[in-house]
Each structure stands twice: as C-alpha cells, then as structure tokens.
Structure 1
C-alpha cells in the first residue's frame, strides 16, 4: 500500500482521535477504489495517499467518506466558479505573490495542526475576488492532502487577518456563491477545522458574519474566536515559533512562506495538471446524491438581508422581520473582542461583566430591540457590549440608554444631526481641532481622555453644539474600537484659551440641557472626571453655580487648573499633546488621525445616519429628561 507511514506522534493521534487502524486503512482504501469504479458520474482521483486523506478527514467512516468524495467532485460541476483559477495561469501566481492566503510551512510540535493564514486586506477587490483567493488555497490544500500528514491528521488552525479590508471585501461575493464557497470548504474538503481566529475585525464584519454563520456547522461556530488587535491574544492559541515575524512570531517571514509554496507548486505541476480532468458528470449520476443545503425559506430571507446590507440600509429589514424571533438572525456566537486579562478583571469587579452571561445579555437586548416598533437601532455585538458596559450590565439601564440614544437623534437634531459626519462641513469643523480624543498608550489602564478646545472655532460661523455633535460621532467610533474606553471610562479636558464672551453666550439653558442629555445620558461611556485649564477670569462664578447641581462624587472629580503644568501633574504625560507639555503627539497629528478614522468609517457612518426613532410608532411616550428643570443634576460615575 502506497500510504506514507505516520510519525509516532501523529500515529498515536490518528489512533486516538480518528480511530485509525493501519490494517483497516488498507482495507478501506481498497473498498473506496471499488466504490468509485462503480460510480459512472464520478471522475475521481484514486491515489492511495489521496484516499487516505479523505478517510482521515472522515474519521474512517466509510459512508461519510463516500459522501464527502462525491460532494468534493460534485462542486466542480455544481459551482465551477469556485475553481476558476488554474495553477498555470498568471493570476494564480499574482495571488500567491500577494500572500493573501498562506499555509504556514512549519509546526511547533510534531503532532500540531497546520496553521493557515488569510490576509484578506492584501488583495484589491477591483482585480481579485474572495472566490479566486480561495481557489488558490484549494490548490495548495490538494498538495497538502498528498504530503502533509499534520494537516490531514491534526486538522487546521485558521488565522484570518482582516486588517486593511474595505466594504467591498465583504460585499463583492453574491450570497449564493458565498454559500457554496463556505460549504465547499467546510463540508466537501477532508479537513478538520480545529479553530478559527479573526484578527483586526472592522465594524462591517459583525453584520457580514451574521450572514455567513447561517451556513456554518455548530461545531465550526463553537470554534470561532475574535481577538483584539494585539497579537498577544493570538499567541495564546498559535505558537509564536511558527507565526511570521509580521505577527510577532519567530517563524518564517511572509515572503519566505510565499517562496516555499511557489517552489512546491512548481514541483507539483504534473499532479495539478492531471487533476484538471477530474470532476462529475451529473447526467450520468444513477441517483441524486443528498447534498448539504440550507432550508430555502431562511435562505431567501438571507438573500434579501444581504442585498439590503450591501446597500448600507440594513435598518429597512426590521419591519419585514418583526414576526420572527431575533434568534433566527442572531446565533449564540458573539462578535466581541476579548478583553486582555487586566481589563477583564476590572470589568468583572467594576462593571459586573460575566463572560458566561454576555451572550444571553446580547440576545436579550436584540430581542427587545426587535419588539420596539419605533426604534431603528444598530445591533452589532461590539456596539451593544459597549452599551452594557456603560450601564454596568444592568439590562434595564441599557434599554433606557439605547432608547434615549436614538430618541435624541429625532428629538434633538440640533445637537446630534447638526453636522453630518458624511459631509464636508463636518470634516472642516473637525480639522479646526476643537475636539480630539487623545492617544491611549498600549495596555494603559487609564480612562481615555477627550480634549475640548472651545476657543478654536469662530462663533460667527459655528456653535458650541457643533463640538458636541463632532464628539457624538467620534465617541461612537471610540467605543467600537477601544476596549479600555468602554471599561475604564473617559475624562474630559476643557481648554478655555481663546474663549470669548460670544462663545459662552451660545450655551443657552435649553441647549445646555440637551448637550447634557446627549453627552452624559445617552453615550455609552462612564465619565470619570473633568479637568479645566486656562480658565478666564470670572468663569469661576459659573463653575460655582453649576457645582451646586453636582453630586458629591462629581464635585470631587471636577478640577480647575491655572496652567498646563498643573494639568500634567494629574494626567499621564504620554497622553497629553506636545502643545500642553506632554509626549502624546501633536494636535495636528491627532486631528489627522481622527479625520482618517472618519473616512475609514464612512460606510459605517452612512449606515448610522439611517438609525433613529419614529415617534408615531412609540407605544408609550418617553419622558424627556432634558426638558425638566433649569439644570438636570449631573451625576458622574
């Protein structure tokens, strides 16, 4: 029998995990060859090493193996676009050179799974497609079936880096092709997927994944993890010794891995050429093979879901699916970055965060939102977890905050919609530097700092509400991206340099109440204190008046400084901008950073502009706290 003997470590793993018996392996291969010869519709490879790969991928269950072999070749006729890239075409080598998908050549231990690295953002969607990239991977995997015992016996660990991905990476593949792509790789390939790790997931990924997971098996879904942008989290699951240097590892570089596979493909040219003749002739099939499909009605709903998602109008779906349970769209997998151990401990102690309860809390909020006819609300997991953390995981407080957040979009547009982040006027105001969120040192356990420079705008052209409107959208991006902000909260630094009487008189009592409602009551952040610097003479009286409405905790956390030097004594120097004596970058650099962020999030913000409330559909009238009393008592957590 021409099957390569396994190493001792892999042989033991095959015996324990795959129920492999070397004597039975030979008998099963002979049985498969006889079965294939009797299938008139199949033109299938019968190399013994090839058939051994399918047997091991099916844990030596013969009927399961037959079904997988049939499905593997059936996809070549059912979905030929999945195999559109041939090994001898220039496009194949172009994709190889990009390093968009690589099977890492080394393992750390003799019986470790094989690691496959996907770098989705490396290819230009105008030139290549996800289907073509996966076709390249499919050809590399064929080589592995013949010579890689680690992949065949121990399975694969899939690391999917989404850095650099754009909206088109997630919307270029029609949903029926997406369905076939997932099923061809999950159900037809003789590979056991041991785990899937997503890195650098952008905001649109959560919505996209809600579509994809409908085609995933429960076992696959249970093995998916979404990591923070730090490579350290990945290193807990994938040894640094095999990861490329670009991912903080000590293994071969990306370019070395590319060179390895280009040479491997060259050696397997004749094998890959021969493989082109294999496939399936459905006209000769004696009886239809039962293939893995999804239920048609949910699938039709998904097609509609996907079409609207591509247009950025996801909220339009809600009225059409009010009769459905939220769980029909949202499975138990939560697309949330995991907190680093220190933040997780703080979240547990200060916010009552319990990882075992998070999925149920998210599901509860989504089900509640689905029943609120007046609400058109974002339901991304990362957004909802920010709301929950801002409310210390009180579900009722989270519901109130969500309702108020979107209600103010409708009832206080002079604040929330005064400047639209998708329009040039917003960017012009942002570049004045009236408000920026300062840099957060890596792994710093300190509240995120927001700097307001109220004197930087011309009161003849702009209003103080413009500052709140700009912050309103910057903070939304912040809580989606920055776990430290959602756990540790924020501090505000207000610089009054250049502030004139014209600036101060813009804040009428009615406007001030709405500013407070938006900033304090609706945004999912805990305000840990405020610091005021370069305060002009006479404004202390206003502070004394306002402090009468503050709670004891808030009064203790309000600080007024006479100089930047005093400010530096109370805040980390590495956070404070250079202009204030710190080392946290220049104001200009911070402005550029956030201007680029706004551009990066443009599709997300365009979608965000569609959310709000339809007050005519509200079942019970909401009490607007912003209209009660001359000042609402400020309560800083």
Structure 2
C-alpha cells in the first residue's frame, strides 16, 4: 500500500517533525501502511483508516507503531464505552450550543509557538441545569474539528488553559473519581498531545480535586500540569498579549466571540458528526490482556475500590498466649529496641505487648509496626505535639461527642464512635479531631486488654457534612489518616460509615485506595439515614441518640473528658517517645 498523504507543511515545521517526532516521508508511509493492515486485522474496532485520521495517532506517539495501536485501541473503546460523550453528537443540541456560547470550551484562533491553545471553563455552567458531561462532550467535538483543521496541533501539541472561576459545591459534586479518571484517560488517548495543562483561578480548596486528577496521570503528564491560585497571571506571563482573549487582558477576541465562532463551526460539521458516530469498537471487543496494553490504560498509582458489601469479621483465630511465649517475644523486642535507640521506643512490657497482640505475635510485623508508629509520632507534629487534655480544642471536641468509646464492649470488642462532621470547621480542624481521637485510643489501648486482643469496632457518623469540611479532605491528609489507623496499636475489625451523603463516595474511594486489602474488606458504607446501628452493635450498649438503651452521648463525652484529664501527666511524659 502506498501513502496518499502529501505533506504541504512549511519546511521549518517539517524539520521539527523530523527531529522531534521522527517523521520522514519514508517513515510516515511505512507506519501508515502498518496501521492500515492492523486495522483490517481488527475489524471490530471500526477504525477510521483514512490517513488524515491515522496520522495524528502516529504523531502523538512519535511514530512508535505499537504505541499508536494501543492509543487507537483505547480511543475506539472509549468512543464505545463513554456513551455520555460520544452518542448523539448533534452540534444543534441545546446543551451543546449553550456550552459553546458561554465559552465553556473553545480554542484560540492563533497558536502559541505553533501549539494549539484550548480554553476550558468547566465551572461557568449552572450545575443544577447542566452537567460536567455536557462540557466534556462539547469539548471533545471541538477538539475533533480543531485537530483536523490545524495540523500544527498534531505535531506541536496542545496547551490547555482550565479556568476554575466560580467553582461551587455543585461543580465539585460532579467531579467524581470515575469521571476524573475518564477525563484524564481521554486526554492521554486522544489524537493530540497535551504539552501543558495550566489551571488558573484555582481556589485553594480546589487542591482536593487537583490531587485526584494527578493521581490518574502518567508521570509525564503530571510534570506538565501547573496550578495558578493567583487569578490568571500564569497565562499572561506565558503567552503573548495579542494571542490571549480580552477576558485574560489580551488583545484577541473575547471568549464569548470565540464561543459564537465555534457554535457556527460545529454546526457546519453536522453531517460529519453523523457519519463519524459509527466509528467505535464493537461489543465483540472486550478487554485485551494486560500484556497487550498494560502501559496505556490510565490507572492511578493506587487503585480505586468500591465499597464492601458487608462487614467481615476476622476469620483467623485470635492469638494464643502463654507466659513462656510472651516472655520470649518481649525479650526479643526489647533487644531490638536497644539496637535501635534512635527510635526512642517505650520498651516497658505493657507497651510492647500491645503491638505484639496487634500483629498476632509475628515479630517481623511487630517491629515494622513499632517503627512506623514512632516515625509517625515524629513526623505528624499536629497530632503528637502539645497533647494537652485541658487544651481548648481537645476539651471542646471531646465534650461535644466528636470521639468517644462506649463503656461496654460488643462481643468483647470496644466500640468507638467518631462524629467528625458535627464540629464547626472554622473553629476546630480535622487535624484537631484526629489528634483528640488518637489520645482516646491511647487510653483505650492501655486500659482495655480486650481492645488489644479482639480489636475494635469503629462507627464513623458523617451527618451534616459541610462544604468547608469537604475542603479539608486533601489526598495527603486522607492518606495520613489511614496511616494512623493502620499503624496504631488497636486493630480495626469493623469500620462502619453511616449517614454518608452520596458525594462523599469520592473521598471514601480515595481513603480505601490507601488501605490494605484486609482493612478494605472490613468497611461498610451506609447512605440510608434510616440504617440502624442496632444491626451492628447490641442495642443495650448504644446511646439513645442511635436508638439504643445505653448512656447518652453527653454522658459518654463527659466521662471521656474527665478520663483524659486524669491522664494529663502521662501525655506530657509520652511526648518524648518518638523517633529522632
């Protein structure tokens, strides 16, 4: 097969393509022929085999044919699976026209250093009227046309300016991890290379969403992503004034004018979109083997997982103890602590025994857990410094019942109830909650041997989640909270989330992604406000506020307030035990 493509690009552009992409007449012809043969051998993918459609994928992979095949495979499977973006692509649809005319997704008429400039404003729509999928669908239609008409975009790539002005909670709710993952997947498998992704007008609390975006990116794309919290100064510093729209203090057409231009442009392509709709993978195409395209599917560094369907108890027997075995294990640990003086470990028997029981007397695991615990005490200053039970934040949170333990155990397991969303986040931070809670757990582990042996049941009540609370849930903070759970000396046997708003699933999935498989299996999530905790804990033990017959939350809160104050000297002494 011979190539019918005739390159008419300026010599300067051809030289760039040759030096950077490895594109020559010979290479182009050979690679196009190879892709056409591959497309014929994979008819169920329904690939557009005209050279003008294949060439962008080759240029996007620097003429690595195998990578181009992977990208084509992902692209056409995406067109099949993302029906919300690739079905009914009628430019005259009301939602598409409204997206275009408000300037939600446009390209500038002039390139910057030969790169196509795309402006995306995903937060300009009213989330009660339009959906984020409307923005994405419209944008992918714009990109289809722009890349066909502007060959420079295929060679030099694209700069994306993402303007987060007017971000509200309604927009944030639409940005689920699954949707973010699919967006990043489209960026990385579309037929143009993103050279820079510049977020502008990003409020500080937007970091939560940005962290999710980055978790799905390849290292290369992550290195090309930048965030400007100070208006749009990053754009005006980067690009020439004559290129930029007036909305960004430039001399170019306004985004509204560009929106009108793209409205008319897409309508002129109406027949093309009708014809193009048939090019997508057929249902015969299932997942390829991992070895075939393991490097192309966009997966987070840490996988996202769905909620467990129920609570699982430990299936292995509890550790068997005898005096001789305990002594032998404790002596081994003490010798190890002496060999590691920089960890500054409390090596009294009662403290080491807690870790041994937690790890079922596996000495290797016990040493690792102890090491992680004392490193955590050193590194998490907000949690492990100034642990004064009389401080305003600790007393305030404990007395309002943010973190407490029931007085009686359920099937030998202490029951911890955490209510992190009842506080005023402008007064008490999430770190304050974790700090107060860790102090409660310290006392629990010291006083209640059943907690050491049988583990604990944790109830997390997410009633009344506020927008300000959501802004605290950065990925680093969620990660260290899980680390505290997994390295503390009480084994969580059941973790039950109740009164969970649907939009909090975003953060629960992130939390789970940092957990061990065993811990994930012990989680249960309940969105129904009518769910009764009596399904988990004996009614006689629960506070009346949860349909039980036990002491009230106020009584339990006062009990734990007094209990913590009685440990004031212990907390003061304990602060010195941490790794150097």
- TM-score between both structures, scaled by the size of structure 2: 0.54
Are 1:79 and 2:79 counterparts?
no
1:623 CA drift (Å):
8.2
Aligned residue number for residue 104 of structure 2: 100
Contact 1:161 1:200 in 2 (8 A): yes
Structure 2 SS opposite 1:115: strand
Aligned position for 2:403: none
| 610, 618, 621: which one aligns with 2:571 | 621
Contact 1:131 1:181 in 2 (8 A): no
Question: In the alignment, what sits opposite 1:139?
Answer: 141
SS at match of 2:117: strand
Further displaced range: 208-217 or 48-57: 208-217
- C-alpha separation in 2, matches of 1:121 and 1:412: 39
Query: Does residue 19 of the first structure (1) align with residue 22 of the second (2)?
Result: yes
- Structure 2 segments unaligned to the other structure (5+ residues): 309-371, 401-422, 430-465, 485-559, 576-580
Cα distance in structure 1, aligned partners of 2:109 and 2:471: 37
Please state how far the C-alpha of 1:22 moved relative to its aligned partner: 2.3
**Matching of residues 161-240 of structure 1 within 5 Å:** 161-186=163-188, 188-240=189-241
Contact kept, 8 Å, 1:118 with 1:161, in 2: the verdict is yes
Runs ≥4 residues deviating over 6 A? 294-297, 372-375, 414-418, 610-620
C-alpha separation between the residues in 1 aligned to 2:390 and 2:197?
41
2:203·2:229 contact (CA, 8 Å) conserved in 1? no
Find out whether 1:411 has 2:414 as its counterpart.
no
In the other structure, the counterpart of 1:34 is: 37
Q: 1:47 to 1:304 in 2, by over 3 A?
A: same
Per the alignment, in what secondary structure is the counterpart of residue 15 of structure 1? helix
Verify the 8 A CA contact 2:197 2:225 in the aligned structure 1.
yes
User: 1:154 Cα deviation (Å)?
Assistant: 0.6
- Does the CA-based 8 Å contact 1:373-1:618 persist in structure 2? no
1-side partners of 2:298 and 2:55: how far apart? 29
Distance 1:26 1:273 in 2: 29
1:241 matched to 2:191 = no
SS at match of 1:14: helix
Question: Which residue is equivalent to 2:537?
Answer: none
Q: Distance in 2 between matches of 1:238 and 1:161?
A: 15
Taking a change above 3 Å as real, the CA distance of residues 620 and 80 of structure 1, as seen in their structure-2 partners, is farther
CA distance in structure 2 between the partners assigned to 1:623 and 1:411 by the alignment: 16
Q: CA deviation at 1:49?
A: 1.4
Cα distance change, pair 220–409 in 1 and its aligned pair in 2 (3 A): farther
Aligned CA distance change for structure 1 residues 155 and 409 (closer, same or farther; 3 Å): farther
C-alpha distance after superposition, 1:583-605 (max 9, x if no partner): xxxxxxxxxxxxxxxx9857548
Q: CA deviation at 1:41?
A: 0.9
C-alpha distance in 2 between matches for 1:416 and 1:229 = 35
Q: Is the 8 A contact 1:50 1:145 kept in 2?
A: no
Aligned Cα root-mean-square deviation (Å): 4.4
Q: Report whether the alignment pairs 1:299 with 2:279.
A: no
Count of aligned residue pairs for this structure pair: 366
2:252 equivalent in structure 1: 251
Corresponding residue for residue 528 of structure 1:
none
Deviation at 1:136, TM superposition (A): 1.2
Superposed, 1:144-163 pairs within 5 Å as 144-163=146-165
User: Residues 239 and 297 of structure 1: is their aligned pair in 2 closer, same or farther, counting only changes over 3 Å?
Assistant: closer
Give the distance between the partners of 1:39 and 1:270, measured in 2 at CA.
26
Q: 1:408 to 1:78 in 2, by over 3 A?
A: farther
User: Is contact 2:175-2:209 (8 Å) kept?
Assistant: no
Quick check: 2:196–2:224 contact (8 Å CA) kept in 1? Answer: yes
1:408 Cα deviation from its structure 2 partner: 7.6
Equivalent-residue separation in structure 1 for 2:230 and 2:143 (angstroms): 28
Q: Is the 8 A contact 1:4 1:49 kept in 2?
A: no
CA shift for structure 1 position 165: 0.7
CA 1:120–1:180 in structure 2 vs 1: closer, same or farther (change >3 Å)?
Answer: closer
Alignment check: 8 A CA contact 1:82 1:181 kept: no
Question: How far apart are residue 275 of structure 1 and its match?
Answer: 0.4
Change (3 A) 1:372 1:174: farther
Take 2:394 and 2:287, find their aligned partners in 1: how far apart are those partners? 69
Answer whether contact 2:217 2:298 (CA < 8 A) is retained.
Answer: no
**Deviations, residues 320-360 of structure 1 (Å, cap 9, x unaligned):** xxxxxxxxxxxxxxxxxxxxxxxxxxxxxxxxxxxxxxxxx
Question: Which residue in the other structure is 1:518 paired with?
Answer: none
Residue 178 of structure 1, CA deviation: 2.9
Aligned 8 A contact 1:240 1:249 in 2: yes
Q: Give the TM-score taking structure 1 as reference length.
A: 0.50
Cα distance in 2, alignment partners of residues 618 and 53 from structure 1: 67
Provide the secondary structure at the position in 2 that maps to 1:228.
coil
Shift of 1:278: 0.8
- Give the equivalent residue in structure 2 for 1:126: 128
Within-5 A mapping of 1:593-632: 601=468, 603-604=470-471, 621-622=571-572
Q: Distance in 2 between matches of 1:618 and 1:142?
A: 66
